[in-house]
Homo-oligomer: A and B are copies of this chain.
Amino acid sequence: MTEKKDRTDDHVVFIGSKPFMNYVTGVVMQFTTQGAKEVIIKARGKFISKAVDIAEVSTKRFLDKTAEIVEIKTDSEEFQNKEGKQVRVSTIELKLIKK
Protein backbone atom coordinates (compact mmCIF):
# COMPACT_ATOMS: atom_id res chain seq x y z
CA MET A 1 0.00 0.00 0.00
CA THR A 2 1.31 3.42 -0.85
CA GLU A 3 1.60 5.69 2.13
CA LYS A 4 0.22 9.12 1.42
CA LYS A 5 2.36 11.78 3.03
CA ASP A 6 0.55 14.60 4.77
CA ARG A 7 2.02 17.55 2.91
CA THR A 8 1.28 20.08 5.63
CA ASP A 9 3.78 18.25 7.89
CA ASP A 10 6.58 19.47 5.67
CA HIS A 11 6.31 23.01 6.94
CA VAL A 12 6.09 22.86 10.72
CA VAL A 13 8.39 25.02 12.86
CA PHE A 14 8.62 23.95 16.49
CA ILE A 15 9.65 26.79 18.82
CA GLY A 16 12.19 26.15 21.60
CA SER A 17 15.19 27.80 23.21
CA LYS A 18 17.22 28.67 20.10
CA PRO A 19 17.73 32.39 19.33
CA PHE A 20 14.60 34.24 18.22
CA MET A 21 15.88 35.18 14.78
CA ASN A 22 16.74 31.56 13.93
CA TYR A 23 13.05 30.76 13.97
CA VAL A 24 12.00 33.92 12.13
CA THR A 25 14.52 33.14 9.39
CA GLY A 26 13.25 29.56 9.29
CA VAL A 27 9.63 30.64 8.85
CA VAL A 28 10.46 33.30 6.25
CA MET A 29 12.62 30.90 4.24
CA GLN A 30 9.88 28.25 4.18
CA PHE A 31 7.79 30.76 2.24
CA THR A 32 10.47 32.47 0.16
CA THR A 33 12.93 29.76 -0.85
CA GLN A 34 11.02 26.52 -0.19
CA GLY A 35 7.78 27.60 -1.81
CA ALA A 36 5.56 26.70 1.16
CA LYS A 37 1.90 27.70 0.80
CA GLU A 38 1.39 27.16 4.52
CA VAL A 39 3.63 27.09 7.63
CA ILE A 40 2.54 25.90 11.09
CA ILE A 41 4.34 27.34 14.12
CA LYS A 42 4.00 25.13 17.20
CA ALA A 43 5.01 25.70 20.82
CA ARG A 44 4.34 24.51 24.35
CA GLY A 45 4.38 26.12 27.80
CA LYS A 46 6.65 29.14 28.25
CA PHE A 47 7.57 29.15 24.55
CA ILE A 48 4.03 30.19 23.57
CA SER A 49 4.79 33.93 23.92
CA LYS A 50 7.89 33.47 21.78
CA ALA A 51 5.87 31.60 19.13
CA VAL A 52 3.37 34.47 18.89
CA ASP A 53 6.26 36.97 18.60
CA ILE A 54 7.84 34.89 15.84
CA ALA A 55 4.56 34.64 13.93
CA GLU A 56 3.94 38.39 14.28
CA VAL A 57 7.47 39.46 13.31
CA SER A 58 7.67 36.97 10.42
CA THR A 59 4.39 38.06 8.86
CA LYS A 60 4.38 41.78 9.65
CA ARG A 61 8.04 42.76 9.40
CA PHE A 62 9.52 40.24 6.97
CA LEU A 63 6.67 38.91 4.85
CA ASP A 64 4.51 42.02 4.86
CA LYS A 65 1.54 41.60 2.54
CA THR A 66 2.68 38.17 1.30
CA ALA A 67 1.75 36.00 4.31
CA GLU A 68 -0.63 36.21 7.25
CA ILE A 69 -1.75 34.33 10.36
CA VAL A 70 -5.09 32.73 9.48
CA GLU A 71 -5.79 30.33 12.33
CA ILE A 72 -4.67 29.94 15.94
CA LYS A 73 -5.48 26.93 18.09
CA THR A 74 -4.59 26.14 21.68
CA ASP A 75 -4.83 22.87 23.56
CA SER A 76 -3.63 21.12 26.74
CA GLU A 77 -1.31 18.13 26.96
CA GLU A 78 -0.94 15.92 30.02
CA PHE A 79 2.24 13.99 30.72
CA GLN A 80 4.20 12.50 33.63
CA ASN A 81 7.22 14.48 34.79
CA LYS A 82 10.46 12.99 36.12
CA GLU A 83 8.97 12.65 39.62
CA GLY A 84 6.05 10.65 38.20
CA LYS A 85 3.63 13.51 38.77
CA GLN A 86 0.87 14.25 36.23
CA VAL A 87 1.55 17.65 34.65
CA ARG A 88 -0.55 19.78 32.30
CA VAL A 89 1.00 22.01 29.66
CA SER A 90 -0.65 24.36 27.17
CA THR A 91 0.14 24.19 23.47
CA ILE A 92 -0.37 26.61 20.58
CA GLU A 93 -0.46 26.23 16.80
CA LEU A 94 -0.37 29.27 14.54
CA LYS A 95 -1.18 28.64 10.89
CA LEU A 96 0.42 31.08 8.43
CA ILE A 97 -0.52 31.09 4.76
CA LYS A 98 0.82 32.77 1.66
CA LYS A 99 -1.64 35.41 0.44
Contacts and interface: CB of A to CB of B under 8 A. Distances in A.
A75 interface: yes
B72 A72 contact: yes
A5 to B, nearest CB: 28
Interface residues of A, number: 22
Interface stretch (A30-38, A44-52, A79-87): A44-52
Main secondary structure of the interface of A (DSSP, over half): helix
A63 interface: no
Given A72-B73, A74-B72, A74-B94, A88 B57 contact: yes
Contact of A52 (B53, B57, B69, B90): B90
Contacts of A90: 49, 52-53, 56
